[in-house]
Chains A and B, each alone.
Chain A
Amino acid sequence: MKPRLVVPALLAGAVIAAAMLAQPAQSARAQAADAGAPPLPDVSWSFEGPFGTFDRAALQRGFQIYSQVCSACHSMNLLTYADLAGPDGLGYTAAEVKAIAAQKQVADIGKDGQPIQRAALPADHFVAPFPNENAARTANNGAVPPDLSDIIKAREGGPRYVYGILTGFREPPKNVTMRSGMNYNLYFPGHQIAMPQPLQDDSAQYADGTKATLPQEAHDVVTFLTWASDPMTEQRKRTGAKVILFLLAMTGVLYGAKRRVWSDVEH
């Protein structure tokens, strides 16, 4: 490498390394809080990498898990039923989405001005299980089940972390005293989580016939939650490929142009 490129290359490497390291430093802290926490499970995801996409069948199975199990306690306020439709969604048709929405009841004001319940429309946001935070706390041992719209973006380790939580429930070791109402989880910071194990084998019967083992269910619901945290992921990656290819081509041309412009000057 040319000597004068060594310094810039080192600096660029340092910046990128620092960026990459900043994250594990935080998870190192989170895990250092409980020494002996195992590394997050290594699962492969269809959406990993610059060319990854969502497996639509897994998304639909994951949505089924969310609807049948998780939505009893966890809201998903930032999504609307209409988001489930189409190729950037879960692949449902408009009619299917209308039917999914209509299964839920939404509070509204009637013609006489009194509060009523009506069937949800596709434009409505996902119906929350509790009307407000206090009600959620009361029903859940004083803890609020977090909203899941952004859960993958909001946790260090993202999909692997949530997968770990779902599959990480164990009997507490002998030397650990569990606080009342808490459950032992390998990956939760502090190991004591208020949520009881939500999924087991056969917690749901998959419409497409896939065998519903716990790892399968966890994999599917995490795929769904990852989509929910960032529904524009696939469009973002597609656009990125086009932009970077264009920039690479333009850089090549501009490099030639710069050399040509400077060809008549000693520098």
Chain B
Amino acid sequence: MAVSQNKLVQWIDHRLPVFTFLDHELNEYPTPKNLNYWWNFGSLAGVMLTIMIVTGIFLAMQYDPNVNDAFQSVERIMREVNYGWLIRYIHMNGASFFFIVVYIHLFRGLYYGSYKAPRELLWMLGVVIILLMMMTAFMGYVLPWGQMSFWGATVITNLFGAIPGIGKDIVTWLWGGFAIGNPTLNRFYALHYLLPFVILGVVGLHMVALHQHGSNNPLGIDRKGPQDSVPFHPYYTYKDMLGLSVFLIVFAAFVFYFPNVLGDPQNYIPANPLQTPPEIVPEWYLLPFYAILRAIPNKLLGVCALFASILILFIVPWLDTSKVRSAYFRPVYKWVFWLLVIDAFALGAVGAHRPEGIWIVVGRLGTIYYFLHFLVLMPLIGWFERPLSLPPSISEAVLKKRGGGALAGAAATRAKP
């Protein structure tokens, strides 16, 4: 099927089928017609990745990765470079919003069973992306060389010292010196510039895996035929544009009016290796994992728990034994899912507070629940739960929702010229 009548387009496409590719993957690509707005967050994540890369490159034109100048070079961007303040605040808040979007995208997957066969690898590639995002964000936070940059880097790199035997050598190797210093800053800069492009590559694989079987949908049942789907363009292109526009309003509110609310004031103090801040706290998107790390009073086991809490996500497709995908039809799991959400927020709050008093208790309970949820509840609920009966197809479920008379109305709609 010819993509276009245009001779130039045909000439290029015959030699390098970009236009056929785009037409197939972005235009006519059949997508379930019943996707709700929770499905917007994948494209939002792609937009945020693009925004972060573009603003990052322009910041890199002005930033100086030397410990004597890094802090001042960032402030110079804020004060002297044309629109530097805007590019920096977009990049800074963009990191937070990238994580908000990706966390919602992840929880969407957990709720609707998007990780279940045949989408296991799709899910695992997503977990790889999150891991890469965390590494990128951690290194990026070190670059302004504020107090939190320096001391956060010190604490997190020291974690590797918990590895028996070779731990201390690994830490020295990471630092490139006796402590966090100029060699560390330079290598973090190089890697921080590199990893987003690795993420871009993994996102490409993520999309290939997605397009292999197409998107999941809120009902969790497969498409049975063309009546269950619509072409991606214009239906989901316009829906994604709308979602993007709404998202940008919230993003702009933070960038222009509360640009520092998600950050830590301590990071506006230049790094001082001789003075530890009263609290060392990572950025909010790492707080739940920080809480899990601190919940276990043993250095090595705490580190293991931290890594386990992320790695456990890889095996979710096999931990969940339910035959049914979407929580919509799973009366027990549907509520237990929200327990995990509450747990995530609770662990985040624990991570933000000093480990004393009630926060120790909440942190330990939260950590226990986290692992309980994945290792015990997911398999058990899958086995013992009685799911609701699934509708025969997507289109029939949609028609039923609209009311009985809709069938005639729908036929009339299709018949319109």
Contacts and interface: CB of A to CB of B under 8 A. Distances in A.
Contacts of A146: 269
B166 interface: no
B256 A244 contact: yes
Interface string B390-417: 0000010011001000100010010010
A261 B85 contact: no
B242 A255 contact: yes
Nearest to A264: B413
B223 to A, nearest CB: 14
A30 B38 CA distance: 38
A243 interface: yes
A258 B255 CA distance: 27
Contacts of B398: 266-267
B268 interface: yes
Contact of A153 (B89, B253, B268, B284): B268
A251 B257 contact: no
A254 B238 contact: yes
B167 interface: no
Q: Give the size category of A's interface with B.
A: 35 or more
B348 A18 contact: yes
Contact of A266 (B38, B257, B348, B395): B395
A4 interface: yes
A266 B399 contact: yes
Interface string B256-298: 1111111011101110000000110100100000000000000
A125 to B, nearest CB: 10
Contact of A22 (B230, B252, B284): B284
Nearest to B253: A244
B54 interface: no
B406 A266 contact: yes
Contacts of A33: 278
Contacts of B262: 19, 22
B245 A239 contact: no
B235 A11 contact: no
A155 B265 contact: yes
Contacts of B235: 261-262, 265
A250 interface: yes
B14 to A, nearest CB: 32
B242 A247 contact: no
A22 B233 CA distance: 41
Given A30-B278, A78-B75, A239-B86, A244 B249 contact: yes
Nearest to A247: B249
Nearest to A252: B245
B86 A236 contact: yes
B289 to A, nearest CB: 16
Contacts of A4: 36
Interface stretch (B1-9, B117-125, B177-185, B349-357): B349-357
Given A153-B265, A255-B242, A26 B85 contact: no
Nearest to A50: B257
Nearest to A248: B249
A265 B246 CA distance: 23
Contact of B33 (A23, A26, A230, A267): A267
A239 B256 contact: yes
A25 B284 CA distance: 12
Nearest to A16: B250
Given A22-B284, A26-B352, A258-B242, A150 B268 contact: yes
Nearest to A233: B85
Contacts of B349: 18, 21, 25
B33 A266 contact: yes
Interface string B222-252: 0000000010001100110110011011101
Interface string A124-159: 000000000000000000000011011001111010
Nearest to B250: A12
B278 A237 contact: no
Contacts of A266: 33, 395, 398-399, 402, 406, 410, 413
B239 A258 contact: yes
Contacts of A267: 33-34, 230, 398
Contacts of A232: 78-79, 85
Which residue of B230, B268, B399 has the most chain A CB atoms within 10 A of its CB atom? B268
A22 B352 contact: yes
Interface of B: 33-34, 36-38, 72, 75-76, 78-79, 85-86, 89, 100, 104, 230, 234-235, 238-239, 241-242, 245-246, 248-250, 252-253, 255-262, 264-266, 268-270, 278-279, 281, 284, 345, 348-349, 352-354, 395, 398-399, 402, 406, 410, 413, 416
Given A25-B349, A78-B79, 11 more contacts: A8-B37, A14-B345, A26-B279, A154-B268, A156-B265, A237-B256, A247-B252, A257-B241, A258-B241, A265-B235, A266-B398
